[in-house]
A and B are shown apart, each in its own frame.
Chain A
Amino acid sequence: DTEVTQTPKHLVMGMTNKKSLKCEQHMGHRAMYWYKQKAKKPPELMFVYSYEKLSINESVPSRFSPECPNSSLLNLHLHALQPEDSALYLCASSQDGTAGEQFFGPGTRLTVL
């Protein structure tokens, strides 16, 4: 299984809602990543988990809260988002925390109203 899965595919939420994005991989990878991608832009790194510990937080606002319950799962909890947070949220995983190949999921298209 060389796949990273993300749910949901699409999410529409209001600014007062709380929602979560989910990412899963079964490749035995020990590093997992969240990226944000705006239209016609490259992915921007948000968080990196290495061996289930948060190792990089790219100064992301606290309305985004990552969680890594185990080595296969990565969540992104969303609360009180702004319309400018609307974007494609991509999850990726890699074998370990070094800059090797990252496998990307298909993304969650988030719209904040």
Chain B
Amino acid sequence: AQSVTQLGSHVSVSEGALVLLRCNYSSSVPPYLFWYVQYPNQGLQLLLKYTSAATLVKGINGFEAEFKKSETSFHLTKPSAHMSDAAEYFCAVGSGGYQKVTFGTGTKLQVIP
């Protein structure tokens, strides 16, 4: 079975501050890991994905995430928050050869001017 846990349903940061959204995974096989962003009343957009290549993954809009097997973590970071980053962020896990991707419960990011 595979699952992800996102710590913190709401995160608030000031504009220009570091963004850190936490995700821990559980998987019995090497996982595929994803971060998606969802703006209000829209579909999900892929920010980045880990597929067992480099452990530091760079994504769109200045986001990156580091896969740490020893900590079973895949936290999302961005050095400097913009107002446009305010959205819901979902961590997700899938396994190779397995069609089902399991989403975390989401973290709503608020950016304060």
Contacts and interface: CB of A to CB of B under 8 A. Distances in A.
A45 B2 CA distance: 14
**Would you call the interface of chain B mostly helix, strand, loop, or mixed?**
loop
Interface residues of A, number: 27
B9 to A, nearest CB: 9
Contacts of B36: 104
A43 B43 CA distance: 10
Contacts of A102: 44, 46, 101
A99 interface: yes
Contacts, number: 64
Interface in A61-110: 88, 90, 92, 97-107, 109
B113 interface: no
B101 A99 contact: yes
Interface of A: 4, 6, 31, 40-43, 45, 48, 50, 55-56, 88, 90, 92, 97-107, 109
27 contacts: A4-B43, A31-B99, A41-B105, A42-B90, A42-B105, A42-B106, A48-B99, A48-B100, A50-B99, A55-B99, A56-B99, A92-B43, A98-B94, A98-B97, A99-B32, A99-B94, A99-B95, A99-B96, A99-B97, A99-B100, A99-B101, A101-B46, A101-B49, A102-B46, A104-B44, A104-B45, A107-B42
